[in-house]
Structure 1
């Protein structure tokens, strides 16, 4: 895909059933320099419009749509190989974790809470642009040879992380669906970095980190946790277990690259 150098290069598909809200967001986008904006009122129309997705395509969607939820829209996108890497931004006043969790796990670029300012929308847009055009901010001579283990029960999250890693030139990537599977892999293969989710079946991210630090022959491997967990007590327990860094879902591509760089250099 062509490099996205500014917000003017973005092609925004805005999925918003409210005409008033759509016009408000359209005005904000125009003020930020976005020139190509298409507005549709429901998820089905969005999926139809995305059949002609082009370089720089970004989807901004409300959560509650007439025919489906925004969570269903992003799930349909992630199930389509042609759309799985299209940046998705959710705008919603919803705060319940169980409702937002599918979006967090989908590899979304951002969740923008209503009511939002133009500056907040701008940050989400720059996160999308950064995802489309990753800067070369990790400078390691042997980066192509790095061995990375990605552990997440969400297929969409694993694909999202894999794309970011591959954009950095990292090709030796192994995927596991939970901590128990990761333990078996770690016993047989050596890795330079482990990136894991927190909430997983069988064995969660904290238990995996504890295993690595206390029982694995690779006790010193950097462990980066990427999670939607908001419970501070649980996150504190993860830190005590020996995780190298924690990054929230949804995450900005630049943030995850910086954390990877810091973890590897340490």
Structure 2
């Protein structure tokens, strides 16, 4: 599979911006493109013909990009479609749900061709792995045991899908750090993938406990978070996290981090 086989759906109210996006896509050899100026028409079209990736602006005439991806993630037929937000929006209230929903990327306006290319490449790799039978995937991935910790069901579903796509099927989920620590008393894992902001026991507190009191004190822990506060991020680093990744996390980056943390011991 290559770029020319991708089917891209664009939701952008500005004709000028749509033209810019289309020209960038065509420069990668992508010609199968549907264009919409509002969210509702786009969602109706997606039900009839499933795109490989949806590129959406944040502010649409009838809804927001956040509402578009929320409806997609809530529909079993659309929940696994990759979603890319292209927006100049910086407000936490709009962007946080996008980060939690498992967008493949958030690109600013204006964005560069290189930035778009990285996101498209990640989508391509996701689709290739999706069509690859388990027996042809990395055998080491198949044997991994992962503990996935996140209080957001939407985020857990997205991360679970990525792991499943990689050929990792032994996945245990926890809704917060407290539940994760209880599970760790009973089971061993090869890797923990966790959010930071969670009720009861957050990601930093969980990491600190594992490193100082846990029976698996050296287990690699990857923190995937939308936290923007620099002092909070520094505290997470000092707690002993193995890798700190920002949401949204692309498919390629997730695969690369798992390979580094588990197989190369780079933490």
* TM-score, with length taken from structure 1: 0.92
The alignment partner of 1:73 has SS state of helix
Name 1:64's counterpart in structure 2.
59
CA drift of 1:142 comes to 4.2
CA drift of 1:196 comes to 0.2
Name 1:81's counterpart in structure 2.
76
Name 1:31's counterpart in structure 2.
27
Q: Quick check: 1:15–1:41 contact (8 Å CA) kept in 2? A: yes
Of the structure 1 ranges 216-225 and 120-129, higher mean CA displacement relative to structure 2 is found in 120-129
Name 2:185's counterpart in structure 1.
187
CA drift of 1:18 comes to 1.4
Q: Quick check: 1:92–1:114 contact (8 Å CA) kept in 2? A: yes
Name 1:10's counterpart in structure 2.
6
Distance of aligned partners of 1:57 and 1:220 in 2 relative to their CA distance in 1, 3 Å threshold: same
CA drift of 1:38 comes to 0.4
Q: Establish whether residue 94 from structure 1 lines up as the match of residue 125 from structure 2.
A: no
The alignment partner of 2:185 has SS state of helix
Unaligned runs of 5+ in 1: none
CA drift of 1:120 comes to 2.2
Q: Quick check: 2:138–2:167 contact (8 Å CA) kept in 1? A: no
Q: Quick check: 1:59–1:88 contact (8 Å CA) kept in 2? A: yes
Q: Quick check: 2:6–2:30 contact (8 Å CA) kept in 1? A: yes
> How big is each residue's C-alpha offset from its partner over 1:83-131, in whole Å with a ceiling of 9 and x where there is no partner?
1110000010011233211101111001010012222222222222222
CA distance in 2: counterparts of 1:121 and 1:258, whole angstroms: 19
Q: Establish whether residue 204 from structure 1 lines up as the match of residue 199 from structure 2.
A: no
The alignment partner of 2:56 has SS state of strand
CA distance in 2: counterparts of 1:52 and 1:122, whole angstroms: 27
Q: Establish whether residue 116 from structure 1 lines up as the match of residue 111 from structure 2.
A: yes
Distance of aligned partners of 1:61 and 1:141 in 2 relative to their CA distance in 1, 3 Å threshold: closer
Unaligned runs of 5+ in 2: none
Q: Quick check: 1:16–1:41 contact (8 Å CA) kept in 2? A: yes
The alignment partner of 2:10 has SS state of strand
> How big is each residue's C-alpha offset from its partner over 1:47-98, in whole Å with a ceiling of 9 and x where there is no partner?
10111234x6210000001111100100110011111110000010011233
The alignment partner of 1:157 has SS state of helix
Q: Quick check: 1:145–1:170 contact (8 Å CA) kept in 2? A: yes
Q: Quick check: 1:148–1:194 contact (8 Å CA) kept in 2? A: yes
CA distance in 2: counterparts of 1:140 and 1:215, whole angstroms: 33
Residues matched between the structures, number: 260
Q: Quick check: 2:57–2:85 contact (8 Å CA) kept in 1? A: yes
The alignment partner of 1:67 has SS state of coil
Q: Quick check: 1:112–1:124 contact (8 Å CA) kept in 2? A: no
The residue correspondences of 1:162-177 to structure 2 (distance < 5 A) are 162-177=160-175
**Which of 233, 251, 257 is residue 249 of structure 2 equivalent to?**
251
The alignment partner of 1:199 has SS state of coil
CA distance in 2: counterparts of 1:42 and 1:153, whole angstroms: 31
CA distance in 2: counterparts of 1:257 and 1:25, whole angstroms: 27
